[in-house]
Amino acid sequence: MELTEDLKALLIETATTLKGAARRRFMAQTVQALGRGGQSRAEQELGWNRAVIRKGTIELTHGMTCLDGVQLRGRKSAEAHRPHLLEDIRAIVDSQSQTDPQFRTNRLYTRITAAEVRRQLIVEKGYTDAELPTEHTILTKLNDLGYHLTNVAKVKPQKNRGGNRHVQASE
């Protein structure tokens, strides 16, 4: 099979738009269509990785898809490093929380800020500054636990709805 420049560009563009198993299957089908020596030609002329092509060929011949471990990569969550962190946050925030006064929602509102929760974790629970996550992460954990930060409503003077009824003193 002849690989023209237009065909090469089309194959490369198609491979880059696909992801995961679909991409590997496309690459394996293309290599099979190229015939003998297709893996090395695809590597040289299309810039494809032979290990990916091999994995796609195995998936294509056996009819099964290999699972990617993409979700296993990356940074672990704060509670993976500190297993009791969420319990300690809940213990601190529960005393400062209240439900919706009108009972319209089942959300929990708290007056305590993430910075204060972090400070109390250090003082009361014995964490060090270095082992605790940032304030932003603690705020995210508070939201995940169902707590929502709210300002305390200040007392507002009631409006006089009957109009101004000032009595003027007569002289």
At 6-57, the pLDDT tens digits run 998 999 999 999 988 899 999 999 999 988 888 898 998 899 999 999 999 9
Q: Is the pLDDT of residue 154 over 60?
A: no
* Ordered alpha helix ranges (H), 42-134: 50-62, 78-81, 85-94, 114-125
- The predicted model scores a pTM of 0.48
Domain span at residue 47?
5-62
Q: Is the pLDDT of residue 126 over 80?
A: yes
Kindly indicate the confidence band of residue 107, based on its pLDDT and cuts at 50, 70 and 90.
low
Q: Label residue 30 left, alpha or beta by phi (over 0 means left) and psi (-120 to 50 means alpha).
A: alpha
Tell me, yes or no, whether 160 lies in a domain. Answer: no
For the ranges 1-5, 53-57, 66-70, 94-98, the one whose mean pLDDT is highest: 53-57
Structure tokens at 41: 């030609």
Helices 135-144 and 85-94, axial angle in degrees (round to 10): 80
**DSSP code at position 53:** H
Do 35 and 95 lie in one domain? The reply is: no
Tell me, yes or no, whether 119 lies in a domain. Answer: yes
Do 86 and 57 lie in one domain? The reply is: no
